[in-house]
Amino acid sequence: MPIAADDPRLHAPHVASASRYDDVPFLRAGASGVKLPRISLGLWQNFGRDRSIESQREILLHAFDRGVVHIDLANNYGPPYGAAESTFGTVLDSDLRRYRDELFVTSKAGYDMWPGPYGDGGSRKYLMRSLEQSLTRMRTDYVDVFYSHRVDPETPIEETMQALVDIVRSGKALYVGISNYPAPLARRAHELLAGEGVRLLLHQPRYSLFDRTPEAELFPLLRELQVGSAVFSPLTQGLLTGKYIDGVVPADSRAAGSFFLNESAITDDYLRRIRGIDAIAREAGVSIPQLAIAWVLRDPVVTTAIIGASRPAQIDDAIGASRLELSTEAIEALEEFAAPRGAATA
């Protein structure tokens, strides 16, 4: 098959910036020896076959050159499923192979991936085979963290955790994590892993000004257990930007066609909240996204915020946010427009 004109393999290998660790701060994940950049790049959106490989390469290399060395994936990120891992594998091969030991690469399995009873859930069969497929797509022999992406009510948690233990012992993941686990099951997962001598490095929950659910039970537990967190959707799929502040949904925006966000989210209550947040951001001299990310990072129980990016400038904005220290007054003012503590907006 001929190589497309924009395929990164046609370019000279990337030479990383010598100043790549000068800008983004790092924080230790819980009580572990691992430090992560406060901003991480997630490939959930924008890294499927609906985008050009050249634009994806540009974003990945720009992130690396700014010190955003944590790249977060999952088996079914796309579209189609697996495409984001394949994209990353292409860029790893063409440009970042020599820097693999500087990268912190994570992937997950738990949601629908392939047909039949073995392509979903938390069984040993699914997790083991999914990881093998992910490693092939990413063209690497290990990931730094492999996550159980969700609780599977049809699989005993003991089976899921034993699979993670054995994955670490195989050397195909250096650490393990869990995502979307409620606090009681997160505690049980920690107990099972610790009983086998394996550290639960990270929990990955959804967290933002509009979804503060982890504050009720999960974050107190993570502090107690000294487990880090890598939070996703800090901008609530774009709702915490100025894109919809006029109540209009642009035809090319995520709300116009995304399964995860649609026009029904642009309510009067949302507009009241986002306009109030905008006023606070203007007073602080920052953008809405920067204010939202800085707010998420205000508590060190959050090790890193995973952002999506469709262009390099969004990475730069997020790095700027990671260095902001919000005033007590700004944090207090945001309470009126944020979700209630421990809850999400309607």
Q: Is residue 260 a part of any domain in this protein?
A: no
Q: Please state the domain count of the chain.
A: 1
Q: Is residue 249 a part of any domain in this protein?
A: no
Would you tell me how many other CB atoms lie within 10 Å of the CB of residue 290?
20
Q: Is residue 16 a part of any domain in this protein?
A: no
Helices and strands of the chain, counted as H and E runs:
11, 10
Q: Is residue 190 a part of any domain in this protein?
A: yes
Query: Does the pLDDT of residue 65 top 80, yes or no?
Result: yes
For residue 72, name the pLDDT band (cuts at 50, 70, 90): very high
Q: Which domain holds residue 46?
A: 22-241+287-326
Q: Is residue 248 a part of any domain in this protein?
A: no
Backbone angles phi, psi at 342, to 5 degrees: 80, 15
- What gap in Å lies between CA 233 and CA 293, rounded to an integer? 10
Question: pLDDT tens across 230-256, in order?
Answer: 999 999 989 999 888 987 776 555 554
- For residues 278, 282, 283, 285, the Cα torsion angle rounded to the nearest 10 degrees is 140
Question: pLDDT tens across 324-341, in order?
Answer: 999 999 999 999 999 999
Question: pLDDT tens across 143-172, in order?
Answer: 999 999 999 999 999 999 999 999 999 999
For residue 346, name the pLDDT band (cuts at 50, 70, 90): low
pLDDT of residue 258: 53
Residues recorded for the chain = 346
Contacts of 319 (CB under 8 A, 6+ apart): 23, 24, 39, 66, 67, 68
Query: Does the pLDDT of residue 224 top 90, yes or no?
Result: yes
